[in-house]
Amino acid sequence: MLYRENGQFKTSYAADQQIFPIAQDRIGILLLVAFAIVGVPLLADEYLFRAILIPFLILSLAAIGLNILVGYCGQISLGTGAFMAVGAYAAYNFFVRVDGMPVIVAILLGGVCSTLAGVVFGIPSLRIKGLYLAVATLAAQFFFDWAFLRINWFTNNSSSGTVSVADLSLFGIKIDGPLGKYYFCLGFVLVFALLAKNLVRGHIGREWMAMRDMDVAASVIGIRPVYAKLSAFAVSSFIVGVAGALWGFVHLGSWEPAAFNIDRSFQLLFMVIIGGLGSIMGSFFGAAFISVLPIFLSLVLPALGNLFGVTIGTALIAHTELMVFGGLIVFFLIVEPHGLARLWSIGKEKMRLWPFPH
Amino acid sequence: MAEHSNPSTPERGSNKVILDVNNISLSFGGVKALTDISFNVREHEIRAIIGPNGAGKSSMLNCINGVYTPQQGSITFRGQTFSHMSPRQVAEMGVARTFQNLALFKGMNVIDNIMSGRNLKMKSNLFLQALRIGPAAREEAEHREFVEHIIDFLEIQAFRKTPVGRLPYGLQKRVDLGRALAMEPSVLLLDEPMAGMNVEEKQDMCRFVLEVNEEFATTIVLIEHDMSVVMDISDRVVVLDYGKKIGDGTPDEVRQNPEVISAYLGTSH
Amino acid sequence: MLTTFPRLMLDHAKARPDAAALREKSFGIWQTTTWAQLATLVRHLACGLAEAGLRRDDHVVVVGDNRPRLYATMLAVQSLGAVPIPLYQDAASTEFVFPINNADVGFAVVENQEQVDKLLEIRAQCPLLGRIWFDDPRGLRKYDEPGLASLDALIESGAARAAHDPGFFDAEVAKLQAADVATMFFTSGTTGNPKGVVHTHGSLLDRARAGAKFDKLTAHEEVLAYMPLAWVGQNTFSYAQWLACGYIVNCPESAATITIDLKEVGPTYYFAPPRIFEGLLTSVMIRMEDASRVKKWLFHTCMAVARRVGPARLDGKPVALLDRIKLALGDWAIYGPLRNSMGLSRVRVAYTAGEAIGPDLFTFFRSIGINLKQLYGSTETAVLVCLQPDNAVFADTVGVPIDGVEIKLTATGEILVKSAGLLKEYYKNPVATAEVLSKDGWYHTGDAGFIDATGQLKIIDRAKDIGRIMGGPNDGAMFAPKYVENKLKFFPHIKEAVVFGDKRSTVCAFINIDVEAVGNWAERRNLPYAGYTDLAQKPEVYALIRECIEKVNADLAGDNLLVGSQIHRFLILHKELDADDGEMTRTRKVKRGYINEKYQVLVEALYDGLSEQFIATAVKFEDGRSGSVSATLKLDDAKTFPAMKKAA
Amino acid sequence: MGPFLETLIGGLMSGMLYSLVALGFVLIFKASGVFNFAQGAMVLFAALAMARFAEWFPALLGFDNKVLANVLAFVAAMAVMVAVAWLIERLVLSKLVNQEGITLLMATLGVTYFLDGFGQTLFGSEIYKIDIGLPKDPMFLFDKVFEGGLLVNKEDLYAAVIAAALVIALSAFFQYTSTGRALRAVADDHQAAQSIGIPLNRIWVIVWAVAGFVALVAGMIWGSKLGVQFSLSLVALKALPVVILGGLTSVPGAIIGGLVIGVGEKLSEVFIGPMLGGGIEIWFGYVLVLFVLLVRPQGLFGEKIIDRV
């Protein structure tokens, strides 16, 4: 309905291959980014930043990372939390042990360590497929849970096992207020989203998808499974690691291994599946859905209770949340197994064909 | 068209052997798929492998391009002899193939499927790709142009951005061929390129195969069920039956071969 | 100001060397040829042709779809003072024989293998045809016929010649005069051999400029060239006016992708015969059929508003505020998207011509804000004779005479035209020339019509087709078959119609139903059918068509002149009329006489009042095979009305 | 010597319980190709049901007979579990046929969340006891054989025995009943099974019911051992490596895998753990599996995966 594509012809391949070939889409995305940079700070209050926006951004980043592995390369991983943890703890150690270490560098180095871990635990994927691999990745989850709990070196021998970072700053500017943190995360997310998109639409992305869709055919056209899969693990866990570092440094400030336990892994997997496998945009949708839903429920359920004059105990709320959450997940998988991204693209097609049927 | 693309024009099938299969035997856990198969392929010829279902035709191709490793035997390609090669090595030596039951990348559109055939030729590293600057961007554009030539050649311009899953079967077969052509192969293995096609689709595919063979001087090894097609376009034919070679020669010779007749021509069709 | 096509091209190349002249969708993107590049290309082609021995006043046939290098070839040929003859690329090879021999053609430049094959087929019959060049070498590398070469080879040799003889090309172009012959079009006449219509640079440019001035065309127009260059209409819009205005001509990728390409380009200046617009409308309607209820409702409500006030708005007439708001909403919800989906949202001026267009069809496009207008002209008059000005557009007129045109009507109502854009002559055919060109420079169009109250020209029919009813109640009444046929064809369910009645007491008609439209209609009534012939003979369909015919009759009864042309009996043909079977011209005009002979039995059966009649006909299929279609056709009567005196 | 044997036996016995849960996974995966992550939640759910019923019935019906209470509770819980299993099959999985493995996995994860919430909403989220009269006192074996004998926890012993009995029973059920044969047919080839007139849906419901039953027994035993609480649902995570080690589709695999990992855990914890700072049994099973898979990608007893072109 909103699309006017006449005259939008392409006279070069570069123009034809850009991320948003349609002008209306480019405008839309620019407006969105502009809103995120200018609009949101004007509207959001502290709670919104701390409880929703910042977690959403960081989890989107992690989801993008996971989506590269699961959605694009077709390698199931249940160990994402662990790689976030590696990122967080590695960054922490660089940060506290090397004095004068800039935050960004520390975070990126965290990502690098996570990459290494990812590659090591990705090696089995060369022989193992599907559910077997999924369970194998749990090994990483439990191993790192344990390691960061029991091996004090990682926690800089902090007595409580809890680690914390303070006074983050970027080029001398302090990142303490929620707004600063928001921008910090937003920056990371935008940059990495772009880089990730470039990768998946480049030839490495095609190699990943080829492995995912038909690995024999892929090898016959000369794609090396080793390289394709491990590079996916590497890129994926790098991004995930960075997200982990952000989660620790920016969102939590002080944390313990439980922050990255298996539930986190599942949560992220939900995000990519409900958001849409093999879609960068889907990662954002999924993150929004999964991270906002519980908050939404925790707000709505008591209200509902009061409506019927019942005061709902916190325990009951917690349980109802679990139920509704689980129920919605199932419902979603049944109605749209391909996730929100699919719904989005269908909607877009409808708009382009309007008023004709899809 | 027909009279100009006569398969047995003199310069075809110059007697130089490009691919030589020596005593290949292959079995899956006791089940013998191929027994002591030998045949050769000459530069620029169209070589057909025929045989009833389960004769081991596809297995033969899988051995040639390294998907399966035969227990015995070796394959000589351009004078180099190998007893085992990884599919990657085979691809690098310029052998491409299409698949009997479509093996397209369902999640991608036509362009990307064919583009994926160019991956061996795309060199820019991860970082350049992530930033999509300089060489990476240039590379994408250059190879896209090459791919567009294939799309043009296969006459699928109207579908270049359609997800392959949505294409009719006949067109998917073309894309499959396109992906193989994108590798600029010197030897092209076709696994039943015309299976399950209607008459026009078969004619088109025949045309493409012949044109590939002529325009790009590509050597073609083809498995096909449709005898008329095989006898029409191939220079020499190998006949397999239960994993054994029972005939080898020009279409006419094979037609005469009594063993072949009883095993194949007589029974099927 | 007198000039020539090549000189115009060079002027553009000098004035705006890097501006786009031509675009072609090939290999997935719109490959651009700038004026400078075009100039070089033409220079090399011309030198190459000269090398090959092309001399002034020689003829060269150009056959193929719209391809930049074929455009360049036309220019190159003209640069040398020789004459390009564009031929229909979809014609059968035998149809090439006459033009080639008639014009003593020695050289041909064609698009691809298909055309080469056709020319090679007829080479024996065309001894003079010595050299053939092809644009696309696909599939031709094994051809070794003498004189056959690729355009690249020609350009190469030309480049060489241009290198060591740089002055040559410019000298040749300088020699060229506006009065020199520019192009020759072969009109597929309804009878006999085609005639070569000879046009000079002056004549074509005179009209091109007049038209451009009339519609204030600029160098920024975008045009999509998808009709054959052999058709004078396309030639005017994408060649003559292209060079006159220096705008951009876009060539589609292939026949299969035209709709996509049209959407991408979004032309600003658009020209198509009615049937193209008909096709667009039909597909819109059919696609809306399976839209959701809400969308359907929205569509029909918006279209109702549009039909009511849309054209008024387009004509700049005052529209009530409420309606303006409705239109704005409709534009956002429906009209805009529709224009976009048809690829017409950037259109500033659109023309239709060639045959009469149905009022509903015409108003549909105007109502959704597409400035569709009608024009009157022919090959002999270089198309642009009468055009409808913006804000004065009617479905049943064809516009006012534009700059440099004089019009007068003979006693019999035939339209005579005088302008600088008239043909020079029919090639090697002084007799025919004399028939149409009077000493004092009037061209006899052969069309009957009159200037109506609005001062616009109105066409009734071909003058020679106008007949008389003899005997019966309307003895001596005027019989205007084309006029009636058009009225019939305006119904979406009727694709073609042929009416007979000259020198007879009553009028009878052959009908071709529109398979797509009627098929759809049948499906919605879940009426099973197997192909055209079966569908055509369904009693329900007969009833449907009878309704249409009776509407037309009622309409005719209202017109004193034509009351006698009402249709008494009709039948629906068992096959679709087809140019390949010689029943129509390439421009899809029915050959009434030929059909009359071919289907004599049916005509007689109609007049003998039979209720059915068996007929078997030979047909040619697309792939050239021929077979026969036979059926027993129902013959049916239609209600006619007494003349009703119109309130004066 | 003694400590080693004690650990070994302890390992074997807890391994037996792992196999019991693992069995639940295998059954369902074999028959319907679903990797049922909700098995753990079902265990918790069953245990909660059993524990609470055993409290409620005496109160409601006013009797005071532990055995009767337990029997009634068990039967009631069984009924509940069958219902739950049936609902899961009907409402969730039958709607997801022909979806990819990962989608199904996620669906069962969703079910897990739901059951955890639902169970605790119905039965409360305190820590409850299941007392089926397993003796808590330790006993000494082979005190003849060597000094002081081996200290063995009787409860574990009984538990192991029950588990073993159940495993045998199930194997028998698969081998000798017609339903069992049908099940195996379905497991081997859905189409074929359907074509010879085996009603897939019914089979699947049965399988889920059996899985529910297994979950109940496991829940009962673990419950009486550790007390019934949320953490019980984590036994699923314990059982995962077992399943994979044994090979997703193999019943004996599940049993042997269970024993191997049970023993491995205990031994590693006792003899290697201290060097690494303890608590390594959390990951030992997984890392072990990882290495096994590198050698046998389909697990110890799983069917080999050959992909044809």
Contact between B26 and B68 under an 8 Å Cβ cutoff? The reply is yes
Closest residue by Cα to residue B119 from C321, C266, C56, A224: A224
Asked if A282 and A229 sit in the same domain, the reply is yes
Whether A50 and A35 share a structural domain: no
Cβ–Cβ contact A8 with C under 8 A: yes
C508 in Cβ contact with C495 (< 8 Å): no
pLDDT digits (tens, 9 = 90+) for D247-293: 887 888 888 899 999 999 888 888 887 877 777 888 888 988 888 88
- Residues A38, A135, single domain; the answer is no
Within a domain: residue A358?
no
User: Residue B125: what are its φ and ψ, rounded to 5°?
Assistant: -85, 175
Per residue, the 3-state secondary structure of chain A, as one string, reads CCCCCCCCCCCCHHHHHCCCCCHHHHHHHHHHHHHHHHHHHHHCCHHHHHHHHHHHHHHHHHHHHHHHHHHHCCCCCCCHHHHHHHHHHHHHHHHHHCCCCCHHHHHHHHHHHHHHHHHHHHHHHHCCCHHHHHHHHHHHHHHHHHHHHHCHHHHCCCCCCCEECCCCEECCEECCCHHHHHHHHHHHHHHHHHHHHHHHHCHHHHHHHHHHHCHHHHHHCCCCHHHHHHHHHHHHHHHHHHHHHHHHHHHHCEECHHHHCHHHHHHHHHHHHHHCCCCHHHHHHHHHHHHHHHHHHHHHHHHHHHHCCCCCCHHHHHHHHHHHHHHHHHHHHHHCCCHHHHHHHHHHHHHHHCCCCC
Residues A169 and A200 in one domain: yes
Strands D150-153 and D138-141: antiparallel
- Sign, CA torsion A336/A341/A342/A346: positive
- Kindly determine whether residue C257 and residue B157, on different chains, have CB atoms separated by under 8 Å: yes
Pairwise CB contact (< 8 Å): A145 & D283: yes
The count of other CB atoms within 10 Å of the CB of residue C635 is 20
D115·A326 Cβ contact <8 A:
yes
- Non-local (6+) Cβ contacts of C476 within 8 A are C468, C469, C470
Chain C interface, Cβ < 8 Å to B = 26-29, 113, 117, 138-139, 141-143, 253-254, 256-257, 260
- How far apart, in whole angstroms, are the C-alpha atoms of residue C513 and residue C521? 11
pLDDT at B29: 76
Would you call B138 helix, strand, or coil by DSSP? helix
Kind of pairing, strands B244-249 and B236-241?
antiparallel
- Give chain B's mean pLDDT: 88
Is A115 found in the same domain as A204? Answer: yes
The A residues from 118 to 137 touching B (CB cutoff 8 Å) are: none
Token pair 């069709």 in the structure block, residue: B269
Classify burial at D147, counting beta carbons within 10 Å of its beta carbon; exposed 0-12, middle 13-18, buried 19 or more.
exposed
**H helix or E strand, kind and range, residue C494:** strand C494-500
**A16 and A76 together in one domain:** no
- Bridge-based pairing state of the strands C131-134 and C107-110: parallel
C52, two tokens: 């090959």
Backbone angles phi, psi at C628, to 5 degrees: -140, 145
Nearest to C11 by CA among C57, C32, C42: C42
User: Interhelix angle for C274-289 vs C293-314, to 10°?
Assistant: 150
User: Is A58 a domain residue?
Assistant: yes
Q: Which chains touch C (3 or more CB pairs under 8 A)?
A: A, B
Give yes or no: residues A159 and A81 share one domain. Answer: yes
Q: Is A213 on the interface with B (CB under 8 A)?
A: yes
> How many domains does chain A fold into?
2
Q: What are B190-212's pLDDT values in tens digits?
A: 999 988 888 889 999 999 999 99
The kind and range of the H/E element at D209 are helix D200-226
Residue D74 · residue D50 · CB < 8 Å = yes
Banded model confidence at residue B259, pLDDT cuts 50, 70, 90: confident
Nearest to C291 among A8, A13, A355 (CB): A355
- Nearest-by-Cβ selection for D297 from A132, A134, A315: A132
Query: How far is it, in rounded angstroms, from Cα B149 to Cα C386?
Result: 45
End-to-end C-alpha distance for chain D, whole angstroms: 55
Tokens of C295: 């969308």
pLDDT of residue C624: 66
**B59, B100, B129, B164: best to mutate for the A interface, most A CBs within 10 A:** B129
Which residue in A has a C-alpha nearest to residue C28's C-alpha?
A: A13
Residue at C604: amino acid letter: E
The residue of chain D nearest to residue A120, with distances taken between CA atoms, is D290
Q: What does D47-105 look like in DSSP terms, one character per residue?
A: HHHHHHHHHHHHHHHT---HHHHHHHHHHHHHHHHHHHHHHIIIIIGGGGTT--HHHHH
What does the alpha-carbon distance between residue A351 and residue D37 come to, in Å, rounded to a whole number? 39
Using CA coordinates, name the residue in chain A closest to B138.
A14
Whether the predicted pLDDT of D152 surpasses 80: no
**Residues in chain A closer than 8 A to C18 (CB atoms):** none
Distance in angstroms (rounded) separating the CA atoms of residues D298 and D309: 20
At residue B16, the pLDDT reads 87
A217 CB within 8 Å of a chain B CB: yes
Dist. CA A156–CA A165, nearest whole Å? 12
Name the residue in chain B with its Cα closest to that of C623. B200
- Domain ranges for chain D, please list them: 2-233
User: Residues in chain A with pLDDT < 50?
Assistant: none
Which carries the bigger pLDDT value, residue A304 or residue B218?
A: B218
Q: Which two tokens stand for residue A236?
A: 């994926």
User: Both tokens of residue C188?
Assistant: 């597929």
Closest CA to C20 of C10, C29, C31: C31
Selected residue of B112, B114, B123, B132 to mutate for chain A interface (largest A Cβ count, 10 A): B132
Instruction: Please report the DSSP string for C193-261 in residue order.
Output: S-EEEEEEHHHHHHHHHHHHHHTT--TT-EEE--S-TTSHHHHIIIIIHHHHHT-EEEE-S-GGGHHHH
Domain range for A129 is 44-353
DSSP string, D157-202: HHHHHHHHHHHHHHHHHHHHSHHHHHHHHHHH-HHHHHHTT--HHH
Q: Dihedral, CA atoms, C171, C174, C179, C185, nearest 10 degrees?
A: 60
Q: Indicate the helix (H) or strand (E) that contains C497.
A: strand C494-500
Residues A1 and A78 placed together within one structural domain of the fold:
no
Cβ–Cβ gap B28/D306 under 8 Å: yes
Question: Would you state the pLDDT for residue A233?
Answer: 97
The one-character DSSP state at D125 is S
Going by their DSSP bridges, the two strands C222-224 and C248-251 should be labelled as: parallel
Q: Do chains D and C touch (3 or more CB pairs under 8 A)?
A: no
Strand partners of residue B237? B48, B249
* ipTM for the complex shown: 0.85
User: What SS3 string covers C29-72?
Assistant: EEEEEEHHHHHHHHHHHHHHHHHCCCCCCCEEEEECCCCHHHHH
Q: Nearest by CB to B141, which of A14, A221, A235?
A: A14
Domain of A278: which CATH number? 1.10.3470
Among candidates C27, C142, C254 on the partner chain, residue whose Cβ is nearest the Cβ of B149: C27
Verify whether the Cβ–Cβ distance C27 to B152 is below 8 Å. yes
In a domain, A18, yes or no: yes
Residue C547 CB partners (closer than 8 Å, separation 6+) = none
Tokens standing for residue D83: 């219902």
**Bridge partners of residue C401, in order along the sequence:** C386
Same-domain status, A162 and A22: no
CA–CA separation, C192 vs C98, rounded Å? 11
The Cα–Cα gap between B139 and A18 comes to: 14
Measured in angstroms, the CA of A14 and the nearest CA of chain C are apart by: 10
Please state whether beta strands A254-255 and A163-164 pair in parallel, antiparallel, or not at all (unpaired).
antiparallel
Taking the CA atoms of chain B, what radius of gyration do you get in angstroms? 19
Omega cis (within 30) before A355:
yes
pTM: 0.88
Answer yes or no: is pLDDT of D52 > 70.
yes
User: DSSP character for C82?
Assistant: -
CB contact under 8 A, A223 and B119: yes
Q: Both A159 and A268 in a single domain?
A: yes
Residues of chain C with pLDDT under 50: 646-648
Please tell me the distance in Å from D4's CA to the nearest CA on chain B.
Answer: 42
Q: What is the structure's pLDDT at C389?
A: 95
Q: Please tell me the predicted confidence (pLDDT) of residue B133.
A: 87
- Residue among A13, A207, A223 whose CB faces B141 most closely: A13
Chain B residue nearest residue A17, CA to CA: B141
| Cβ contacts of C255 on chain B, cutoff 8 Å | none
Pairing of strands C248-251, C20-26: parallel
Give yes or no: residues A10 and A97 share one domain: no
Residue C1 host element (H or E): none
D: neighbours with 3+ CB pairs under 8 Å? Answer: A, B
Tokens of C351: 């023309």
Measured between alpha carbons, how far is residue D163 from residues D7, D30, D222 in Å? 19, 20, 11
Q: Could you tell me which residues come within 8 angstroms of residue D174 by beta carbon, excluding any fewer than 6 positions away?
A: D180, D181, D183, D184, D251
pLDDT band at D309 (very low <50, low <70, confident <90, very high): very low
Cβ-based neighbours of B10, under 8 Å, separated by 6 or more: none
Separation CA D272–CA D270 (nearest Å): 6
Give the number of other Cβ atoms within 10 Å of residue D242's Cβ. Answer: 29
CB proximity list for C467: less than 8 A, separation 6 or greater: C478, C479, C480, C481, C501, C502, C503
Which of A14, A207, A212 has its CB closest to that of B119? A207
Q: Looking at the structure, do residues A35 and A148 belong to the same domain, yes or no?
A: no
